[in-house]
Amino acid sequence: MKLIIGLGNPGLKYRQTKHNFGWLVLDKLAGKNKWNTSKKAQTKYIKTEIANVPVELIKPLTYMNNSGLTVAHIARNYNLKPEDIIVIYDDLDLKFGSIRIGQFESAGGHNGIKSIIQHLGFNNFIRFRLGINDELAEKIPAENFVLTKFNRAEKKLLDQIINNCTEAITELLATDLASAMNKYN
């Protein structure tokens, strides 16, 4: 079993914001499958298979800064190792359209990742960092920027970026981390 967690915030006002990039990728991975809700785990989830690997797609409903509560609860229930946990999230340090895959040391200032590291007690889970930085990022505070919607030019590229990310996830599950990194970083 692999957990694939997309980070985001619940609620309509956050739906198409940059901070919900992880949820947008999960929606693509989910296809026509219906999301279930667990109040106990504070999540929306789908159990399915990708590349013949059983996965659980996870959308924490705890808001970004408390994502670790949900992730740790589910990871402990399945007794998962770090390499079984894949987290997809927006990254302000990367230019819009960039994808960086790997196991990274720090949270890089991302509060959702900080929460996950704090609650799991380790940092070497697999990460898909999706770049959101653009010309507006330098003009407004980061906490406001991540809650902006994708601009017109970004929306034109969004489907391709999401497709690249889902292909990279499939590559990771079908082969290994090194292969996904070599093809999609």
Active-site residue list: 19
Residue 9 to residue 13: CA distance in whole angstroms: 9
| Nearest residue to 55 (alpha-carbon basis) of 183, 151, 173 | 173
Helices (H), 80-134: 111-120
Are the C-beta atoms of 128 and 168 separated by less than 8 Å? yes
- Whether the Cβ atoms of residue 150 and residue 102 lie closer than 8 Å to each other: no
Contacts of residue 163, defined as CB under 8 A and 6 or more positions apart, other chains included, come to 28
In whole angstroms, give the CA distance from residue 166 to residue 173.
11
Phi-psi group of 121: left, alpha or beta (phi > 0 → left; psi -120 to 50 → alpha; rest → beta): left
Nearest to 102 by CA among 27, 177, 4: 177
- List residues bridging with 127 in a β-sheet: 87, 102
